[in-house]
């Protein structure tokens, strides 16, 4: 199942610098692990925003929920999920 996921990050301005650095390092490691496993095949930065637009390829809604819930930055995110389906005009489908 494919999902488009928009993630907007809002870190508190008073977040301890060590906590921030640790959280960002864990987020990067976790996201790269998911990318290598094929669960997170696409991630793009949204220009001018602390946001990304990603595509996830997972087996179920529950799997995606678990992945998102375990993102180290999850407590600081606003997330919008859109299920995707193949478009009939896609020449690669």
For 28-87, write each residue's pLDDT tens digit: 999 999 999 999 999 999 999 999 999 999 999 999 999 999 999 999 999 999 999 999
Concatenated DSSP letters of 24-85: HHHHHHHHHHHHHTTSS-EEEEPTTSSEEEEEEE-S-HHHHHHHHHT-TTGGGEEEEEEEE-
Q: Which residues contact 26 (CB under 8 A, 6 or more apart)?
A: 72
3-state secondary structure (DSSP) of residue 37: coil
Q: Is the pLDDT of residue 93 over 90?
A: no
CB 68 within 8 Å of CB 3: no
pLDDT, residue 74, reads 98
* Residue 88: its H or E element: none
Domains and CATH numbers, the chain: 2-84 (3.30.70.1060)
- By C-alpha distance, which of 10, 21, 64 is closest to 40? 64
pLDDT tens figures, 12-41: 999 999 999 999 999 999 999 999 999 999
């Amino acid at each position: 199942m494919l999902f488009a996921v928009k993630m907007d990050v809002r870190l508190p301005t008073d977040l301890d610098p060590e906590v921030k650095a640790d959280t960002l390092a864990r987020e990067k490691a976790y996201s790269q692990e998911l990318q290598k496993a094929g669960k997170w095949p696409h991630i793009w930065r949204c220009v001018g925003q602390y946001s990304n637009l990603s595509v996830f390829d997972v087996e179920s809604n529950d799997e995606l929920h678990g992945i998102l819930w375990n993102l180290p930055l999850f407590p600081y995110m606003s997330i919008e999920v859109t299920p995707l389906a193949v478009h009939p005009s896609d020449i690669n489908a």
